[in-house]
Amino acid sequence: MGLQGIKAVFFDLDNTLIDTAAAGRRAIEAVINALQTEHHCDEREAHMICAKVQAKLLKECHDPSKMCITDFRIQHWEEAIQETKGGRANRNLASECYFLWKTTRLKYLTLAEETRGMLRDLRKVVRLLLLTNGDTQTQREKIEACACQPYFDAIVVGGEQKEEKPAPSIFHHCCDILGVQPEDCVMVGDSLDTDIQGGLNAGLKATVWINRTVTDPKDTSPAPHYIISSVLDLPGLLQNNGVANSEITKVASICNACDRSSDGARSLAD
């Protein structure tokens, strides 16, 4: 399929435009170090506490009407510390761990200069919208930390809407904001379950999955229209699929100069 006639590109945030996973690892390392050097935990205890918190974060289901995200996540740390060390709950230590984790993670959430340049030039050709799931406070803090607001025509946070990705309603809301139709739009993201399935559910023109693994997936479900290994491969994909424009050519050339290859784009749809 070609990409002629696209008017808007929707971008996911976490692990698409910014490396949230890497920032999270740096944050966990900081807490492990603090637990050992400042709070007399041995190495096994420090690692176990952080592993328990990471497991809780992966499974968390937060209701902002019942508890703010700060108290909710401090509670994760409080439970993990108590489960590991026993004894009475230590709210003060839990709070210290949480805020160290949070501030360290935000510190490392940066929008690379190459990504900034790509977004800046793409916006001369098509409208750009940031579409991210998650708690309002958490996602707005990430957006502020990486300073990505100037590169988008609109920003939509799932926690501020009735439904999040992959519900069609949030994609259609994005279309309404930009004054475009679903068939005018492309969704770019790293999650098959939310970004790709959501784009398919909403009837977007195309979905682009960012798959950083070296090997090609044998059985991808849901099936994206295209796969690229980096968000910086997007201009090359657009250029090679019918979006012929001098600005697209310019940004594709810039990204290729950064040792990125537009040949990484592979069509998975007729």
Tell me the backbone φ, ψ of residue 208, rounded to 5 degrees.
-125, 115
Residue 136 pLDDT: 96
Residue 239 pLDDT: 84
pLDDT less than 50: residues of the chain = 244, 246-248, 250-254, 259-270
Residue 192 pLDDT: 96
| Distance separating alpha carbons of residues 1 and 241, to the nearest angstrom | 8
Residue 212 pLDDT: 85
| Distance separating alpha carbons of residues 200 and 202, to the nearest angstrom | 5
Helix and strand counts by DSSP (H, E) for the chain: 10, 7
Write out pLDDT tens, residues 69-116.
Answer: 999 999 999 999 999 999 999 999 999 999 999 999 999 999 999 999
Tell me the backbone φ, ψ of residue 156, rounded to 5 degrees.
-125, 125
Write out pLDDT tens, residues 110-146.
Answer: 999 999 999 999 999 999 999 999 999 999 999 999 9
Residue 2 pLDDT: 60
| Distance separating alpha carbons of residues 181 and 187, to the nearest angstrom | 13
Query: How many Å is the Cα radius of gyration of the chain?
Result: 20
Q: Determine how β-strand 266-267 pairs with β-strand 226-228.
A: antiparallel
